Structure 1
Amino acid sequence: MKNLPVYFLILVLISCGGDPESTESNQNLEISYEIDTVMVDAGDHFFFVQYGLGMSDVDESRKLLYNFNNQDFKMEIIDLENLKLKEVKQYEKEGPNGIGGGFIMRVQVLPDESVIFYDFNGIHHVAKSGEKIATYKLEEIDWKGDQLGDSEEINVSSLDTQDGKTFYGFYGTENFFDSKNLGIAQFNLSDQSLRLFPSDFLQFTSAYEISLEMNGGGMAKAPEQNRVRKIDDRILITTTAKNELWEWNLELDSLISRNYESQLSSNSKKGNFPMQASSPEEFREAMKEKNKEVSFGRLILAPDQDKFWRVHREMDRLTAGDTIIYKNILTAFDSETNQVGETLLPERFNFFEPAFYLDGRLWKFLNIDDEVAFVRVKPSISE
């Protein structure tokens, strides 16, 4: 077992982080937080850490983290309360319960302990027992209601659901040379109904997309991460490119925008990096330049605090060895998504995504010699 950093407390006084006349960030609050690091007992098991737990989801009610190994089709379930491996479940790749055939890029755990597997071919819904409930290939569904154009499709990687039936995400064109986000989609798999909200409100993010093209063909893209999240009866949309949030009001079928101001970082990417590369080396160099610019994380709901938290980062400086040192900024929002405060996290803690909230703390995976540990930030805010 590794020696862990000593537990310590930091108290920070912060400014409101915005224009004092702005309705989005008009409070001057004090944030304090505690930070500790904990290790997970894996027994004799070797965790799948290749993607930095990027293929994981948290069942908050049962305090379990599900980490999927998409190479061996195994699910590692970690007991976060007792910080130990609970079990490893094997899923089938072929056969009636198979979820193979495509590249699984994300998992989502539902309240009934069933799991949604998202891949490029569609959606697999698997019961707690491991029996597959259904596979849905979205491009083969004859939708009722709104209709997608001939070249349009639903972006599976953007989808979110709370019940495994109604999903929310983006739709658009996905051709390498003509990829456009055309708006937001809501669909129900039970009655195969589709509802579209056409809008180009996120099209500006394509200006920060890096493309690798070789021998006249498209090889790779590095787009911004635009996210849709269903929280209770709200549809919230964020992007890594800008300090802004959008809310899709389903009743009014309207889009509400909120702009925020940070006093600790830039408020949008500047685009001071090449947008096209003609070799892997050029692509990596362009990505290095892009990674210097500001990037905004997801809103993380803290229901027991009636708050949202977010971490975003921006390059602070380069070391003599050309390594990027980031400043990580923790921002607090109230339940109506008004910004109420921001502060810097300690430099040594690279607390960017993925992160989640549980038991009053923000948790971030930390790889310690290929073992699973978590840095935990316990934030609080007061007048």
Structure 2
Amino acid sequence: MMSWVLPSLILNFRQVKRLISLISLPLILSCGGNSSEKSDSDKILENFSFSVDTILIDPSDKIINLSYGIGNATLGPERQFLYQFDPSKPQINQINLNSFKLENQYPFEEEGPNGIAPLIFGMQFLDNGQLILGGYGAQYGVFTLQGKKVQELNLNPADYKGLEALEITDLGLRFTFSKDGRFGSVLKRIGESNSSELIVFDLETMTGKVFWLPEMEQAFDYSLEFQAGNRIRFVGDGIWLNQIENGVLVGNSTNNKLYQYEFDTDSLKLMEYDFSLVPNQKERPIKKEVNSLEEYLVEEEIALSQIYFGSLIYDDSSNRFFRFGRILEPKKDGEQTRKGDIFLFMFDQNFRLLGEAKMEGIYSIPQSAFFKDGKLWSYVNVDDELGFAIFDFKF
């Protein structure tokens, strides 16, 4: 199969609506739209527009497993390749983003001296080109792309001064390391107390600290589960952890607040925002418990119809951060998917809000998104083939 590119289109909102009614869902992201918001606020991006190209990756005679979407994937240090972890092998697929081809497949071992964790939850490149894989049981290791384990990373709190009160089972799934590998950061596993905490490890001095993140705990108010027989229904907001230069960033999908932790200064800072186009947080509460599926569906609708915030995405070309927000329309009978209003928020390198815009013509937040050469790449599945929608923003 050959790689291909759909021509870029720049359309007004009426044209987009008409085109969407004529094409299938995988091609919705192949068209562009523009947005112009009129407001007295200087934070509204009045001249914002965007176009979208869609490309497919040529797997040659190999298979790219998309059973879990793109799953665990990360850009390499050179930003030419995307590395996707395939847990079914296990192996890492090296995808060339310049030629739109599957370049290589690197196998990894499940057992032995070079064995990886049973379930991989995340991976990250260090500045030296080596790769950290972290997974079940708080197992973290440094590997080469050829599958050799270079180092086992010990994040057992019992071995760190200042973390003796914690157990290794307190470590959650979300983690990140500094680019030199000296510092590790993990979100604490959510326990019965519903407390949000950031655990920071200094692997050089074997010391650590725990930071309470009270403004993240609103996310717990929008988690609800209902079980009927063998089927479990669940709705919930999440807390995320991002690596940034010399630190980490923590946010959630319930409100627009951010925590920034810096390794050098060992300091935690809360950042709050007042958006113009959307609420700053979810406002209607939902019940903590329900007794029937009908009651659950009512509460689920309340949660999903309110604002949802994505994580921040860094563009190294402009030195800016971008964040998406979404408000879903009411669900219609018989429809499996639902449309939503999508919003874009732009920040400078110090996380000051630069502007807001509504993105006309798209109805879902770009998935597994990252920036390359100043353009936003978003994963799309086109008939079980790996594709990307490439957004070109104009301000």
Q: TM-score range by the shorter chain?
A: 0.7 to 0.9
Contact 2:187 2:198 in 1 (8 A): yes
Shift of 1:28: 5.5
Shift of 1:287: 5.2
Q: Runs of 4 or more off by more than 6 Å in structure 1? A: 278-285
RMSD, aligned CA:
3.2
More strand by share: 1
> Which structure 2 residues correspond to residues 40-51 of structure 1 after superposition, within 5 A?
40-51=57-68
Equivalent position amino acid for 1:180 in 2: S
Contact 2:194 2:217 in 1 (8 A): no
Contact 2:158 2:167 in 1 (8 A): no
Task: Give 1:94's match in structure 2, choosing from 104, 107, 111.
Answer: 111
> Which structure 2 residues correspond to residues 1-383 of structure 1 after superposition, within 5 A?
5-9=6-10, 10-14=33-37, 20=41, 26=43, 30-100=47-117, 102-122=118-138, 123-136=140-153, 138-139=155-156, 141-149=158-166, 153-171=170-188, 174-175=190-191, 177-181=192-196, 183-212=197-226, 223-249=236-262, 253-271=266-284, 273-276=286-289, 290-322=303-335, 323-348=337-362, 350-381=364-395
Equivalent position amino acid for 1:95 in 2: G
Query: Please, what TM-score do these two structures have when normalized by structure 2?
Result: 0.81
**Aligned-pair identity (%):** 22
Which sits farther off after the overlay, 204-213 or 119-128? 204-213
Equivalent position amino acid for 2:174 in 1: S
Query: Please, what TM-score do these two structures have when normalized by structure 1?
Result: 0.83
**CA–CA distance in structure 2, aligned partners of residues 283 and 371 of structure 1:** 35
Map Cα deviations across residues 332-353 of structure 1 (whole Å, 9 max, x no partner): 1122212222222243453333
Change (3 A) 1:140 1:164: same
Q: Which one has more relative contact order, counting CA pairs under 8 Å at least 6 apart?
A: 1
Shift of 1:364: 0.5
**CA–CA distance in structure 1, aligned partners of residues 123 and 297 of structure 2:** 28
Equivalent position amino acid for 2:238 in 1: Q
SS at match of 2:78: coil
Contact 2:34 2:360 in 1 (8 A): no
Change (3 A) 1:213 1:76: same
Contact 2:55 2:389 in 1 (8 A): yes
Equivalent position amino acid for 2:141 in 1: H
Equivalent position amino acid for 2:58 in 1: D
Change (3 A) 1:150 1:212: farther
**CA–CA distance in structure 1, aligned partners of residues 97 and 294 of structure 2:** 40
SS at match of 2:250: strand
Shift of 1:60: 4.9
SS at match of 1:247: strand
Contact 1:186 1:195 in 2 (8 A): yes
Contact 1:313 1:352 in 2 (8 A): no
Shift of 1:239: 1.0
Shift of 1:6: 4.1
Which sits farther off after the overlay, 54-63 or 247-256? 247-256
Aligned residue number for residue 24 of structure 2: none
Which sits farther off after the overlay, 343-352 or 146-155? 146-155
Change (3 A) 1:320 1:248: same
Aligned residue number for residue 26 of structure 2: none
Shift of 1:150: 5.8
Equivalent position amino acid for 1:364 in 2: S
Which sits farther off after the overlay, 35-44 or 104-113? 104-113
Equivalent position amino acid for 2:8 in 1: Y
**CA–CA distance in structure 2, aligned partners of residues 220 and 161 of structure 1:** 37
Contact 1:14 1:341 in 2 (8 A): no
Change (3 A) 1:158 1:288: farther
Contact 2:44 2:357 in 1 (8 A): no
Contact 1:326 1:347 in 2 (8 A): no
**CA–CA distance in structure 2, aligned partners of residues 158 and 212 of structure 1:** 29
**CA–CA distance in structure 2, aligned partners of residues 99 and 287 of structure 1:** 37
Structure 2 residue runs without a partner (length 5+): 11-32
Equivalent position amino acid for 1:47 in 2: I
Count of paired positions: 368
Equivalent position amino acid for 2:394 in 1: S
